[in-house]
Amino acid sequence: MQSYTIGQAARLLGVSPDTVRRWADGGRVTTHRDETGRRLIDGQDLAAFSIEVGQSPNGEEEEPYTSARNAFPGIVTAVKLGDVAAQVEIQAGPHRLVSLLTREAVEELGLEVGMQATARVKSTSVHIDRT
């Protein structure tokens, strides 16, 4: 069975290695040590844990891991759903931001008019985080 280092598990889970270490220290995920002393997570344990992490509300209590720096917290003012794509509008202070994303993403985030959300702008893309 394949095992993963803390760093590999962190990349697969989309979190920092420190977060995986805290989860392991807290007993959320089981680790063992190899002959060199590195902490490893069995592949089957990591697969099961990744499902648990993916299903937990809002990921975790921590901020989402993202490289997008320009965050615009605001309120969702419009959600237009198509068969495959969707359009979400957010009013963030004096700024109106519009994002085109998949319908599936809008449904997974549970975006609705009136709820708080954060638009993250990186280059020409607007990313939406539910807050």
pLDDT of residue 82: 96
pLDDT in tens, 67-85: 556 788 888 889 999 999 9
Q: Which long-range contacts (CB under 8 A, 24 or more apart) does 102-111 make?
A: 106/79, 106/81, 111/76, 111/79
| Cα distances (Å, whole numbers) of residue 41 to 9, 14, 22, 31, 75 | 8, 16, 14, 5, 40
Q: Is the pLDDT of residue 59 over 50?
A: no
pLDDT in tens, 4-50: 999 998 888 878 899 999 999 999 999 999 999 999 999 888 888 88
pLDDT of residue 32: 94
Q: Which of 21, 53, 51 is nearest to 39 (CA)?
A: 21
Say if residues 118 and 128 touch (Cβ distance below 8 Å): yes
